[in-house]
Amino acid sequence: MKANIHKTTLVLLLTLLLVGRVGHSQGSDFQFVGTKTQVTFGFRLVNNLILVPVVLNDSLPMQFILDTGLRSTLLIVESDSIQNSANCRPVKIAGLGNAGEATACALNDIRLCLPGIVGNGLNIIALNNEFLDLESHLGYPVQGILGYDFFSSFIVKIDYVNAKITVYKPEVFRQPAKYEKLPLKIENGRPFVKAAVCQLPGIRTDGSFLIDTGASHSLLLEPSEQRGIQLPMKTIPTVIGWGLSGQIDGLLGRIHRLEMGSFSFNNALASFADFLQSPSPALPDRIGSIGGEILSRFTVILDYQNETIFLRKNFQYKRLFNHNMSGLDVVVEKGSAHTFRVVHVMDHSPASEAGIMVGDQIVALNRKGSGQLSLEEIQGIFRSGSYEPIQLVILRNNQFYSFSIILRKLI
């Protein structure tokens, strides 16, 4: 059996798409524990991604990303030992383009528990973390990703401001006041909403967009003359992500406006990449995806059974669309929460002009040692919108170097 898996890290984004379902047996959905009809629990918001507490087979506490863009539930394992399990059915995972393949395991009869919720008899994919190293890009341990199985079992409310998930039994849910209701189309286990991109004043392209809680970008567009999506006049090269094939390159630009229902966003950042995907016959107008940088400006309620999304603005609605103004992409090294390594330097950026190089280790930032920093804090400083100089101490070839760089808008 072969599945396609696309892992993308849009500068400050991780999105994973698994196309193709691995068997879904009768009665293998998530359910409430006992007689509950709704449950509320907290989550950790990291770069617009939702990390929820999960217990695997009643023994292993873990953190999973909650991802509407994922068709099957994914478990990320430390070694290949799971492939020797009697419960393992080998599957082939294909990357983007000519990325080659990796072998993963289809596991059945898995039990996953969240606060007040249990999923029995689940079928999931287990993949070695050398192919999907989320912790390096997020700075927090991530052992899996929850997708369609979870969202299709309940009505799910995501309160980004208070970092709370509320899960409802569909028959007791009542439409809330002051929310805007928009239709969804669930296609291959993923939710799509109608929206419009105005790349220039007066030039509007309507289409279907994936609602992707597993991506922290604002907007991802797939350039297509046929679908009316063109590159902006000004773009900058950027690393779209890392997948089975290694680094994936793309472009970053701005659009005039995004319109979704009565909501609109001006001067929004958009990433552009050709993922070699043909439009689905059921969604010939698909032109991109909407990620956490936009979704986090709302309280979001997803109702897969009735193919509906409810949106209500929160106080973050009007925040500016800032980007990484340093030109540096940084990851956490495996096995160390505070070893920060430069993996990409954008040409003609403040970092490249200062002489910072791929492979450099950040040991201090603005007079704070790396032991006092988190990856999330470093990334926040790089896209803070501040034009003040930032001070970096770099370790390179066992020697320390000091750099002062002034952040500036690159797009």
Q: Is the pLDDT of residue 369 over 70?
A: yes
Residues 212 and 15 sit within 8 Å (Cβ to Cβ) = yes
From residue 303, alpha-carbon distances to 154, 169, 185, 241, 308 in Å are 7, 10, 11, 30, 5
Q: How confident is the model at residue 258 (pLDDT cuts 50, 70, 90)?
A: very high
Instruction: Give the pLDDT score at 95.
Output: 56
Q: Is the pLDDT of residue 120 over 90?
A: yes
| pTM for this predicted structure | 0.90
Q: What is the pLDDT of residues 159-181, one digit of tens each?
A: 999 999 999 999 999 989 999 99
- The span from the CA of 218 to the CA of 323, in Å, is 10
| Structure token pair of residue 263 | 């909501």
* Exposure string over 268-292, b if 16+ CB within 10 A, otherwise e: bbbbbbeeeeebeeebeebbbbbbb
pLDDT above 90: percentage of residues in the chain = 61
Instruction: Give the pLDDT score at 385.
Output: 77
Q: What is the mean pLDDT of residues 21-39?
A: 73
For the chain, how many residues are written?
Answer: 411
Q: Is the pLDDT of residue 224 over 80?
A: no
Q: What is the mean pLDDT of residues 280-288?
A: 76
Q: What is the pLDDT of residues 330-359, one digit of tens each?
A: 999 987 889 999 999 999 999 999 999 999
From residue 369, alpha-carbon distances to 339, 356, 359, 374, 406 in Å are 11, 18, 18, 10, 20
Top-confidence range, 78-92, 261-275, 293-307: 293-307
Q: Is the pLDDT of residue 83 over 70?
A: no
Residues 91 and 109 sit within 8 Å (Cβ to Cβ) = no
Task: Return the number of other C-beta atoms located less than 10 Å from residue 185's C-beta.
Answer: 14
Give the residue from 336, 398, 404, 329 showing the smallest Cα distance to 364.
Answer: 404
Q: Is the pLDDT of residue 314 over 70?
A: yes
Q: What is the mean pLDDT of residues 12-18?
A: 35
Q: What is the pLDDT of residues 383-409, one digit of tens each?
A: 887 788 999 999 999 999 999 999 999
Q: What is the mean pLDDT of residues 256-270?
A: 96
Hey, which residues does 288 pair with through a beta bridge?
Answer: 209, 221
Enumerate residues 6+ apart whose C-beta is below 8 A from 338: 332, 370, 371, 373, 374
Instruction: Give the pLDDT score at 194.
Output: 97
- The span from the CA of 167 to the CA of 147, in Å, is 14
pLDDT above 70: percentage of residues in the chain = 85
Q: What is the mean pLDDT of residues 81-106?
A: 69
Q: What is the mean pLDDT of residues 198-213?
A: 91
- The span from the CA of 213 to the CA of 300, in Å, is 10
Q: Is the pLDDT of residue 96 over 60?
A: no
Q: Is the pLDDT of residue 376 over 90?
A: yes
Domain architecture of the chain: domains with CATH: 2-171 (2.40.70.10), 173-313 (2.40.70.10), 328-406 (2.30.42.10)
